[in-house]
Amino acid sequence: MKEKIAQLLAQVSDLKCKTAKEVEEARVRLLGKKGEITRLFEEFREYPSERKKEFGRALNELKQAAAAKIEELKSSIGSETESAGPKEDLSMPGTPFELGSRHPVSIVRQEVVDLFRKFGYDVAEGPEIEDDYHVFGALNFPLNHPARDMQDTFFVSTGHPNPLLLRTHTSSVQVRVMESMKLPIRVICPGRVFRNEAISARAHCIFHQVEGLYIDEHVTFADLKQAILLFAREMFGPDAAIRMRPSFFPFTEPSSEVDVNCNICKGKGCNVCKGTGWLEILGCGMVDPNVLEASGIDSKKYSGFAFGMGLERIAMLKWQVNDLRHYFENDLRFLSEFETSIEV
């Protein structure tokens, strides 16, 4: 018995295990129901009491040593497995999250909206698929006007007195506003428009416009001129000057096209302004009495002005991008030129 105890004690102190499984096997071998130490205790029980004194304490010490060793091995292996494998470096910077950037047309649209909001204008929107009446009829286009031709307009349905079509301008929204809003009216209508054009550097079948409409008593051409001048100065800087050229639109009388002085050559003449020193920015005029009456507004009491501008055109002047196609190709190299991140 004495020898056996000494032998097992040596075994316990030399015990080495690599895995949790090996520790468990060692525990069963020594301390399990049929384990070597358990068996020694069984033998010990058979001993006469005078011999028990001889081995009792040594046997207990062996059991305690074995149990302690097993615990020690368990915890050291446990902590090794936890720390095994690649460690997380909590000081590493996070994975960057690409937010993208706003499209140049969206940036200009927002600028125009913010600017007119400051002047007290509301924002109104209308449908992109419109009917002939709102795009042409109510705006005083004669029945045989070329804009009503398939060559210029994308029709959605034909063979109907009021066919559906993709709106060719946002002036259609001014009709909807006049039909539904209380007077006085002060709105801008940003939106997407469609024309059956061959795509080139200067023309596209999809583009964006902002329509403006102001109707009240005693509105005059002087108010129109002042509104456009204020817009040009806010958009192109305090030195911006405007020039109004007589023009024609069916829905305004008189009508005008507006140029702003070329901010690239400062009016001296360059290839962007084709040597003239001026760049066209919008069309405008006093709302034709026929248009007011078509929407049920008394043209003897009320008058108003309207204007319409192309957002791609304004963006081209702002950033000197002279090919319209860039705005629709979604090339990230182009888009990332304008803003590095969006505001969230």
The residue ranges that bind ligand DAH (CB under 6 A) are 169, 171, 211, 249, 252, 283-285, 306-308
Residue with tokens 């009446």: 133
* 15 or 211: CB nearest ligand DAH: 211
In angstroms, give the least distance from the CB of 255 to ligand DAH.
6
Q: Which residues pair with 285 in a beta bridge?
A: 255, 306
- The pairs formed by 127-130 with CB atoms below 8 angstroms and a separation of 24 or more are 127/167, 128/166, 128/167, 128/191, 128/192, 128/193, 128/194, 129/156, 129/164, 129/165, 129/166, 129/167, 130/164, 130/165, 130/166, 130/167, 130/172
**Integer Cα distance of 306 and 284 in angstroms:** 6
In angstroms, give the least distance from the CB of 110 to ligand DAH.
20
In angstroms, give the least distance from the CB of 306 to ligand DAH.
3
Pair of tokens at residue 126: 């209308």
* 169 or 326: CB nearest ligand DAH: 169
Q: Per residue, what are the HEC states of 29-69?
A: HHHCCCCHHHHHHHHHHHCCHHHHHHHHHHHHHHHHHHHHH
In angstroms, give the least distance from the CB of 177 to ligand DAH.
12
* 15 or 279: CB nearest ligand DAH: 279
* 153 or 171: CB nearest ligand DAH: 171
In angstroms, give the least distance from the CB of 248 to ligand DAH.
9
* 236 or 251: CB nearest ligand DAH: 251
In angstroms, give the least distance from the CB of 148 to ligand DAH.
14
* 168 or 261: CB nearest ligand DAH: 168
* 252 or 261: CB nearest ligand DAH: 252
Residue 220, C-beta contacts closer than 8 angstroms, at least 6 positions apart: 286, 303
Residue 242, C-beta contacts closer than 8 angstroms, at least 6 positions apart: 225, 228, 229, 232, 258, 259, 260, 261
Residue 251, C-beta contacts closer than 8 angstroms, at least 6 positions apart: 139, 140, 141, 171, 285, 287, 288, 291, 306
In angstroms, give the least distance from the CB of 158 to ligand DAH.
22
Q: Cβ-closest residue to ligand DAH?
A: 308
Residue 28, C-beta contacts closer than 8 angstroms, at least 6 positions apart: 35
The DSSP line for 157-205 is S-SSSS-EEE-SSTHHHHHHHHHHSPSSEEEEEEEEEE------SS--S
**Integer Cα distance of 18 and 29 in angstroms:** 16
In angstroms, give the least distance from the CB of 173 to ligand DAH.
10
- Are 298 and 306 within 8 A, CB to CB? no
* 66 or 173: CB nearest ligand DAH: 173
In angstroms, give the least distance from the CB of 168 to ligand DAH.
7
* 126 or 285: CB nearest ligand DAH: 285
